[in-house]
Amino acid sequence: MYVTAEHLRDHVIRPTFKYLGKWTPATEDFLLNAAIDGPDLGLFSARNEEGLGIFRITAAQHRDLWDRYLAFNPEIASRVRGLASQRAFLSDPDSELQTNLSYCTAIAWLLYQRSGLAAAEPQQQEQRATA
């Protein structure tokens, strides 16, 4: 199956952000670019490493996000868990990164947000628009 950038933006990234209540044009653009150029951003593994899914998130990053961030943020954890498959998530949570685009998108965004880089992104977007 072939997925275009427009399809990914319109049918995965935007609806996922809207579901999480985090949609902005800047966040949408960031994750679309991350799917294309993820390793260059420094958050995701290189294509030839062990990253999973379109954002190349490692199993260690995935577990760390759940153990050190989502475990202490039950409201967002519940929303993210709502994106995951009912049974597959319980038996193999990392497989969701490969088979569930909305779940993988949410996890990628949370990794980015937790890194502290997300706060600077709207200002950088404004600077690029006025330049």
d(CA 25, CA 91): 35
Q: Is residue 129 domain-resident?
A: no
d(CA 32, CA 38): 9
Q: Is residue 64 domain-resident?
A: yes
d(CA 39, CA 45): 6
Residue 82's pLDDT is: 95
pTM: 0.82
Rg (CA), the chain: 14
Q: What's the total number of domains in the chain?
A: 1
What proportion of the chain, given as a percentage, has pLDDT over 70? 78
Q: Is residue 131 domain-resident?
A: no
Q: 38 versus 27: which is more confidently predicted? A: 27
Q: Is residue 23 scored above 80 in pLDDT?
A: yes
The stretch 75-91 carries a mean pLDDT of 93
Q: Is residue 130 domain-resident?
A: no
Q: Is residue 112 scored above 60 in pLDDT?
A: yes
Nearest to 33 by CA among 18, 44, 22: 44
Residue 38's pLDDT is: 61
Give residue 44's domain range. 5-124
Mean pLDDT across the chain = 84
Q: Is residue 70 scored above 90 in pLDDT?
A: yes
Q: Is residue 73 scored above 60 in pLDDT?
A: yes
Residue 71's pLDDT is: 96
Query: In angstroms, how far is CA 96 from the centroid of its own chain?
Result: 12
